Structure 1
Amino acid sequence: MPVLCRPAVNVPEHIITAEQTLALAERQHAGHDQLALVLRLIRNTGVSKRHIIQPIEETLRHPGFEERNRIYEVQAKQRVPDVVRRALDHAELATDEIDAIIYVSCTGFMMPSLTAWLINRMGFRPDTRQLPIAQLGCAAGGAAINRAHDFCVAHPGKNVLIVSCEFCSLCYQPTDLDIGSLLSDGLFGDAVAAAVVRGQGGRGLGLERNASYLIPHTEKWISYAVKPTGFHFRLDKRVPTTMEPLAPVLRDLAAAHGWDASRLGFYIIHAGGPRILDDLCRFLDVEPQAFRHSRATLTQYGNIASAVVLDALGRLFEEGGAPDGAPGIIAGFGPGITAEMAVGRWVDAPVPDLAAHYATGRRTAAMPAARRVGPPASQTAGRWPVPQA
């Protein structure tokens, strides 16, 4: 069973707080006839701070699309290698043990993809498969996990590296004054994340089934208008209502696997905004605490696009993980409106056949002993179906 191992996440050093965001909005848009509404919507996001790759003074300037894309490339090459190394360490693998790299980003453009640069600079094998995903927005994190799962099923024992690089601050457009754009200015943050899906062994989310779904006739609800000044984000006011049609899709995915989506052991959900999480809690009939990891990502980092699901999963690891065998779901939502979803069980075990692993002569980190994590069985009885062998 392919296992999604512990992610590595990096957020930039420059921080803008909610108070600073509100003050900037009041100063930059003092004459806006709907400023009061904008300020209220930004407050309601629940975002306390965001991290950005440049100081706010530089972020607010627009040096042109060409310069912004140059900044994207420079910053990506500076920041991605570290998270890749840490993700490989978490998975107990070396670069030459990776068989495919999936790179997701919707905030800059490179050709060839950063995957080629990583292969050349970090010691990945020349025959490493490359799969860049550029146009799924926030859903791309879930899509990357699903495509990695598919690859590992098609190629048993192979390993896939997922990399997410999102510099949303480079998409700030000072001339976009519609409500959706101004709300986005107070919602999105920057982050880089990486994780490995191991084809065999590893500890984390054992991937068992995945699915994609597109809500018909909603392709204009989240989009980019590409202009000489770059990417102009478009957000329809109906986007927060999308959990009502998507919740049954999540239920159906769990049911197809013999599970009840209301009684899972853990939930890793894309935190597009607070209403997304609130509505999904209601439609799936789960307690708000079930989405605590997604809410923490939103509060501390804002919406970091495709990196959200990896950061939220990382927070589950920081909490100690889930009980061995606990069923869970991971889902990302984005343009389309598209949902990328997967279900699986928590795998809490060391890499099997450690002697054979060392015998390959490849570098591997020290292996921790297996342990059960999470609450005792007496506290979890009845919460989810007993996993079948």
Structure 2
Amino acid sequence: MNPTQNHSQVSILGIGTALPVHEIPQSDITELLTSHLEDKPDLARFARRIFRSCGVDTRYTVEPSYKGTAGECRYLPAGDHSNIPTTEERMDTYKREALPLGLEAAKKALKESGTHPEQITHLITVSCTGQYSPGLDVMLIRQLGLSPRTNRLPLMFLGCAAGLKAIQMARDVVQGAPGSRVLVVCVELCTLHFQPVMEKEALFAASFFGDASASCVVGEAEDHHADYLQLGTGYSVLLPDSTEDMTWEVGNYGFDLFLSPRIPKMLGSHLVPELDKLLAGDSMPELWAIHPGGRGIVDSVQDVLNLRDDQTRFSRDILRNAGNLSSCTIMFVLNAMVSDLKSQDSASKEGVAMAFGPGLTAELMRFKYVPAQVSSQKTETDHVYL
């Protein structure tokens, strides 16, 4: 890697996260989902095993009926399935619930970054769990008090990798238009798409997804005196022979997700050469922000890269305490990492972020944690990674 002078230091200046108020133990979701499988005892046993072993203890949802009995939950009912919510009903709930959650995360990110709403020049909104128009981008501009001339860039239906893709897009915007400040807002209400499961393959998708919102502000780091994440080089890559291993399609009763159990192994086999390309001969960094698409994915990445347990703990903690939050998850991981580094008065450290989605797509990006005491004493040696 040959460092180059960089006086803009495009960085994540602040991150905000938000979870719905309804917290559900994994055991409760397991019982709801298996309550309609009395005539399929083998599938019920398989479901309980998958739900116990996927690395999730707790999830959050905007739908309060998941906290009730099977008779009260239309999404995972026992017995008669004729009253399951249609896709139209689910989108009505998304439209009602997505904005408040997105606003909560965005306001935290703006405050953390010291950014006034009128300073935002671009808004990137991300979701694969709901759509309507005028959409979340328009509503956020109005509710946050952003300029009506804010450039809106919605990323829709790109899956779990979209959060990191949005961060890299924001980096490119600021590099191409110095002085820009980009607000990224991800909202995913995954639990609105839960349905009674009749096949083993569908259980993998139902076992670990939860609802959340996450936001960040990306801009130049001059005169920014708080801790930040300097954004380095990165790219997106389609992995070979994997198109059908992760699919997300609109059905009559929500969106239908399929996840192949061979995804962790596939990621492991292709990740090393891609990281070699990303690092371009540099040594392995200390920090690893891995999207926890499931326990098996984190296990596979840790194994092939020979990472220590403490290097994957942020990913595992988010998965255990909130589940897979689709595009929001990578920002939850980065936020937890920054909070921990800040609490330890850590020195600057380099890292790699990665997230995975349909395609199969891998998003890879280098970054550097810069503590406040360093950010206020920037020198001519500051650089990004090429």
The TM-score normalised by the length of structure 2 is 0.86
Letter in 1 for 2:244: K
Query: 1:120/1:242 Cα in 2 relative to 1: closer, same or farther (>3 Å)?
Result: same
Q: Shift in Å at residue 58 of structure 1?
A: 5.1
Retained in 1: the 8 A contact 2:267–2:297? yes
How far off is 1:199 after superposition? 2.5
In the TM superposition, what is the alpha-carbon distance from 1:278 to its structure 2 partner?
A: 1.1
My pick for the range that moved more, 61-70 or 279-288, is: 61-70
1:142 equivalent to 2:184? Answer no
Match of 1:245 in 2: 269
Q: Distance in 2 between matches of 1:232 and 1:4?
A: 33
Q: SS in structure 2 opposite 1:211?
A: strand
Q: Percent same amino acid at aligned positions?
A: 29
CA contact (8 A) 1:189 1:302 kept: yes
Q: Residues of 1 paired with 2:106 and 2:185: CA distance?
A: 7
User: 1:158 maps to which residue?
Assistant: 180
Q: Residue 35 of structure 2: SS of its match in structure 1?
A: helix
Q: Distance in 1 between matches of 2:14 and 2:373?
A: 13
Task: Give secondary structure in 2 for the equivalent of 1:198.
Answer: strand
Q: Which residue of 2 aligns with 1:21?
A: 29
Say whether residues 1:287 and 2:308 are aligned partners: yes
Distance 1:387 1:36, change over 3 A: farther
Which amino acid is 2:253 matched to? T
Of stretches 226-235 and 308-317 in structure 1, the one that deviates more from structure 2 is: 226-235
Relative to structure 1, the CA distance from residue 120 to residue 249 in structure 2 (aligned partners, 3 Å threshold; closer, same or farther) is: farther
Give the count of matched residue pairs. 355
After TM superposition, give the deviation of residue 241 of structure 1 in Å: 1.5
Kept in 2: contact 1:158–1:200 (CA 8 A): no
| Cα shift at 1:159 | 0.9
SS in 1 for 2:372: coil
Task: Decide which of 85, 110, 114 is 1:63's aligned counterpart.
Answer: 85
Match for 1:112 among 134, 146, 166? 134
Cα distance per residue 1:119-175 (max 9 Å; x no partner):
12321112211111112100001101110111111111211111110000111122x
AA aligned to 1:195 is C
2:20, 2:61 within 8 Å by CA — same for their partners in 1? Answer: yes
CA contact 1:278–1:288 (8 Å) conserved in 2: no
Q: Which residue of the partner structure matches residue 50 of structure 1? A: 59
Per the alignment, do residues 60 and 351 of structure 1 end up closer, same or farther by CA in structure 2, a change over 3 Å counting? farther
Partner of 1:96: 118
Counterpart position of 2:210: 189
CA drift at 1:183: 2.7
Equivalent-residue separation in structure 2 for 1:130 and 1:190 (angstroms): 23
| Cα deviation code 1:158-210 (max 9, x no counterpart) | 11111110000111122x42213223222110001111112233432100101
Q: Distance in 2 between matches of 1:388 and 1:351?
A: 13
Distance in 2, matches of 1:297 and 1:182, equals: 20
User: Does the residue aligned with 1:150 lie in a helix, a strand or coil?
Assistant: helix
CA distance in 2, matches of 1:2, 1:388: 10
The answer for the alignment partner of 2:319 in structure 1 is 298
How many angstroms apart in 1 are the aligned matches of 2:157 and 2:126?
9
Q: Distance in 2 between matches of 1:135 and 1:26?
A: 29
Q: Contact (CA 8 Å) 1:215, 1:245: kept in 2 or not?
A: no
The yes-or-no answer on 1:235 pairing with 2:259 is yes
Deviation at 1:246, TM superposition (A): 3.4
CA displacement at 1:18 relative to structure 2: 2.0
| 8 A contact 1:327–1:343 mirrored in 2 | yes
What is the CA–CA distance in structure 2 between the aligned matches of 1:23 and 1:228, rounded to whole Å? Answer: 24
Match of 1:35 in 2: 44
Structure 1: how far apart are the matches of 2:383 and 2:97?
46
SS of residue matched to 1:328: strand
Q: Which runs of 5+ in 1 are unaligned?
A: 353-368, 371-385
Q: d(CA) in 1 for partners of 2:93 and 2:301?
A: 37
Q: Which runs of 4+ in 1 moved over 4 A?
A: 386-389
Decide whether the 8 Å contact of 1:45 with 1:274 is kept in 2: yes
The answer (yes or no) to whether the contact 1:4–1:197 under 8 Å persists in 2 is: yes
Which of 34-43 and 97-106 deviates more? 34-43
Structure 2 unmatched ranges of 5 or more = 1-8, 67-72, 78-83
Structure 1 residues 249 and 146, CA, compared in 2 at 3 Å: closer, same or farther? farther
* Contact 2:14-2:110 at 8 Å conserved across structures: no
SS in 2 for 1:336: coil
Contact 1:6 1:313 in 2 (8 A): no
Q: Give me the whole-angstrom Cα distance separating, in 2, the residues matched to 1:122 and 1:24.
A: 38
**Shift, 1:388, TM fit:** 7.1
Equivalent of 1:4 in 12, 22, 47: 12
Letter in 1 for 2:369: W
Is 1:251–1:260's contact at 8 Å kept on the other side of the alignment? Answer: no
Residue in structure 1 matched with residue 350 of structure 2 by the alignment: 327
Query: For 2:266 and 2:220, how far apart are their aligned partners in 1?
Result: 33
Comparing 30-39 with 336-345, greater Cα deviation is found at 30-39
Find the counterpart in structure 1 of residue 109 from structure 2: 87
The alpha-carbon deviation at position 274 of structure 1 amounts to 1.0
Secondary structure of 2:312's match? helix
Q: Tell whether the 8 Å contact from 1:152 to 1:159 is kept in structure 2 after alignment.
A: yes
Residue 35 of structure 1 and its aligned partner are, at CA, apart by 2.5
- Are 1:276 and 2:297 counterparts? yes
1:169 to 191, 198, 208: 191
Task: Work out the CA distance in 2 between the residues paired with 1:102 and 1:343.
Answer: 20
How much has 1:63 moved relative to structure 2? 2.2
